[in-house]
Amino acid sequence: MPWRITKSYNQLKISFIGAGNVSWHLAQTLENAGHNVAEVFSRNVKNAEELTKYLYDAKVQRDLNFADSQAKVFFLCVTDDSMLEVAKQLVLPEDSMLIHTSGSKSLAELDELLRLNSDVTIKTGVFYPLQTFTKNYKVNFAEIPICIESEEEDVEKVLINLGQDISDITYLINSEERRVLHVAAVFACNFTNHLWAVAQEIVEDNELEFDLLKPLINETFRKAMSAENIFKAQTGPARRGDNKIINQHLLFLKQQPDYQQIYRVLSEGILKKK
């Protein structure tokens, strides 16, 4: 990969703990922005080896003792569940910055974890790219909001610079606000995905093609995303208060009580907003 210097005035040495989807994209993007990845650690060493192939001169780190690392910033990109275990074994150089990239962990929780074993001063922060990542699908970081938090002025400054190096949208978001975004994202993304999946199953179980619904889904999506108040873009039987149709649909779903309950709860929600 060719080395190019972009808008970053201060090249930072950065190490990654974890080599999953977030590390995969973030490490390469930060190097493309002019920074340098020093080490990559992964519980599964093959993942670390794979990622370093795409980096300039990063080394595979085989344990969690980074005492001799030249890196200043350590990105902790592991699942929330493994953070505790990692923190127990992690050794970082004095005055380094440990940054997690999770939407659901608060900064205080990270500090708590560090207090478990650390006898050196480590500053903490959050660098949360508000996007879902897939390893082999290219993402454009410029369009991804980066949510930054730290209680240390110098860490915040470093993270803002890193954020601005790779994205056009960098926000200071505290842990409480990050939780709000995460709850909202569950509604707007996880739950909508489930509803599309249920719709696909209903259609395909009846030997129809899901493609038939796609123009309608596209248009609904387009309208909602351009609406100032999305409740006002609502259509359909519940919005019209059409109980006859609602009851027909509930009857249709009688073999699938789970789907029937989703139908009932969401129709009630829409009816109440009328």
Asked if 82 interacts with its own copies (CB under 8 A), we say no
Comparing C-alpha atoms, which of 64, 71, 93, 95 is closest to residue 11?
71
Asked if 245 interacts with its own copies (CB under 8 A), we say yes
Specify the 3-state DSSP secondary structure of 80: helix
Token output for 224: 């909602």
Asked if 268 interacts with its own copies (CB under 8 A), we say yes
CB of 229 to its own copies, least distance (A): 8
Within residues 18-47, the interface with its own copies by CB under 8 A covers none
CB of 4 to its own copies, least distance (A): 25
- State the Cα–Cα distance between residues 15 and 64, nearest whole angstrom: 11
**Crossing angle of helices 243-252/257-273, nearest 10°?**
160
Asked if 81 interacts with its own copies (CB under 8 A), we say yes
Comparing C-alpha atoms, which of 155, 162, 148 is closest to residue 122?
155
Asked if 253 interacts with its own copies (CB under 8 A), we say yes
Exactly one of 64, 86, 130, 160 binds its own copies (CB under 8 A); that residue is 130
Task: Select 49 or 80, whichever has its Cβ closest to its own copies.
Answer: 80
Within residues 60-79, the interface with its own copies by CB under 8 A covers 79
Within residues 155-174, the interface with its own copies by CB under 8 A covers 169, 171, 173
- State the Cα–Cα distance between residues 182 and 179, nearest whole angstrom: 5
> Do residues 23 and 75 lie in contact, with contact meaning Cβ atoms separated by under 8 Å?
yes
Q: Is 174 exposed, middle or buried (0-12, 13-18, 19+ CB in 10 A)?
A: middle
> Do residues 187 and 157 lie in contact, with contact meaning Cβ atoms separated by under 8 Å?
no
CB of 115 to its own copies, least distance (A): 20
Asked if 3 interacts with its own copies (CB under 8 A), we say no
Within residues 172-211, the interface with its own copies by CB under 8 A covers 173, 177, 179-203, 206, 208
Exactly one of 68, 153, 212, 254 binds its own copies (CB under 8 A); that residue is 212
Task: Select 4 or 232, whichever has its Cβ closest to its own copies.
Answer: 232
